[in-house]
Structure 1
Amino acid sequence: MFKDLQHNEHRHSFRVSYSDTDKMGFVHHSAYLQYYESARWEAFRDWGLCYREIEECGIWMPVTKAELKYLRPAHYDDWLTVVTRIEKAVGPTVVFAYELYKNETILINEAKVTVAFMNEKNKKPCRPPKMILDHISKER
C-alpha cells in the first residue's frame, strides 16, 4: 500500500474538488502545493502540534523551497491520500517529504517542501520552537 511507512508519517485523505481542475480535466499543478500544506497542518495536529500555538510563540514558517515531481494526473472526484513525513531538520529549516496516492495504491506525485522558522518581530531565521524539536527528536 504505502511505501516506507515510518513513525513520523501521517496520512491525509480527501476527494478532489471540481475547482481544483483545469480545462483539460486534470488537477491544476498549483493545487498540489495546497494539498501538501493542508496535509502538513493536519499532520501537525495529529502529532500534538498546533500552528496557532507556534504563531503565538512569535514564530512564522514560510516555505523557502518546493520541489514537485508529477508522475500521473489526478482528476475531479479522485480519492487522494497524502503521506507526509519529516525528512530532516537542520538549523532553522525542516524538510517535509510528501507522496500523493490515488486510491491509496497509485503513486501520482512526490514532493519536498522546505520551511524555515522565522522570528515574527525581526523577520530573521530562528530555531524551531521546543514543541517541534521535541517531536522531531522523539521520532528519530
Structure 2
Amino acid sequence: MPYSSQPQLSPTTEIELDNSFRATTEKWFEYPIIAHPHHTDYAGIVWHGTYLTWMESARIECLRSIGIDYTDLVSIGCDLPVIEINLRYHQSMRMGEHGIVKTRMNEVQGVRIHWDYEISSVSGSLLYVSGRVTLVGIDREKGKIMRQLPPLLKNALVKL
C-alpha cells in the first residue's frame, strides 16, 4: 500500500476538548524495574530509550490494574498513541541497579490523557528520570481522533 493512501491523522490542534470529563489523581502506580545488560550501552549506563519502554510498561500495567487490558481497547477499535513526550534526565541508572517507575494519570481533557512519571531508586533517594506523556484516543478503523473516549476506558479511568 503506498504511503499516500494510508489514513492521515488530523493535527493535534484539531482535537476538540470535552471539558465535561476531567480527572486528576495524586496516587502513584509503582512498577519495579531492573537494569539488565540489554538495557544499557557499553559503559553499563541505561540507554535513554529504555526509560521510555519502562514508562510504557508501567502505564499498561497501571491500566491493567484498574481492569483495562490494552487488547480490549484494540478489540473495540481504540488506540492510544503518544502525541507528546517531555522527559528530564536527572541521573544515569546503571546496569544491575533496581528501580521503581512511578506513574499516575495526571489529567484527562476530552480525549487527551496526560500521564506523569518518575523513575527512581527503590529507596527513592535517587531520581533518574521524570516526565510527562500525553496520549490521545484514535479510532483505529477510521484513523481519526475520537470525539470522546470509549465508555470502557472512560469508566475505568475514573478509578484512578
Q: TM-score, normalised by structure 1?
A: 0.89
The aligned residue for residue 137 of structure 1 is 158
1:76 counterpart SS class: coil
Q: Aligned ranges for residues 17-36 of structure 1 at < 5 Å?
A: 17-36=36-55
CA distance in 2, matches of 1:58, 1:104: 40
User: Per-residue CA shift, 1:96-133, capped at 9, x if unaligned?
Assistant: 10011112312211011111110011111112221221
The aligned residue for residue 83 of structure 1 is 102
Larger radius of gyration: 2
> 1:6: Cα distance to partner?
3.1
Question: Structure 2 unaligned runs (5+)?
Answer: 1-24
Question: Structure 1 unaligned runs (5+)?
Answer: none
1:30 counterpart SS class: helix
The aligned residue for residue 112 of structure 1 is 132
**Matching residue's letter, 2:121:** K
Q: Aligned ranges for residues 1-140 of structure 1 at < 5 Å?
A: 6-7=26-27, 9-105=28-124, 106-126=126-146, 127-139=148-160
> 1:80: Cα distance to partner?
1.1
CA distance in 2, matches of 1:64, 1:23: 31
CA distance in 2, matches of 1:17, 1:39: 17
User: Per-residue CA shift, 1:9-60, capped at 9, x if unaligned?
Assistant: 2100021110111122210111111010111111111111110101111001
Q: Percent identity?
A: 24
User: Per-residue CA shift, 1:63-105, capped at 9, x if unaligned?
Assistant: 1111110001101111110111001111221011001111231
**Matching residue's letter, 2:154:** L
| RMSD of aligned residue pairs (Cα, Å) | 1.4
CA distance in 1, matches of 2:123, 2:86: 22
Q: When the two structures are aligned, how many residues end up with a matched partner? A: 134
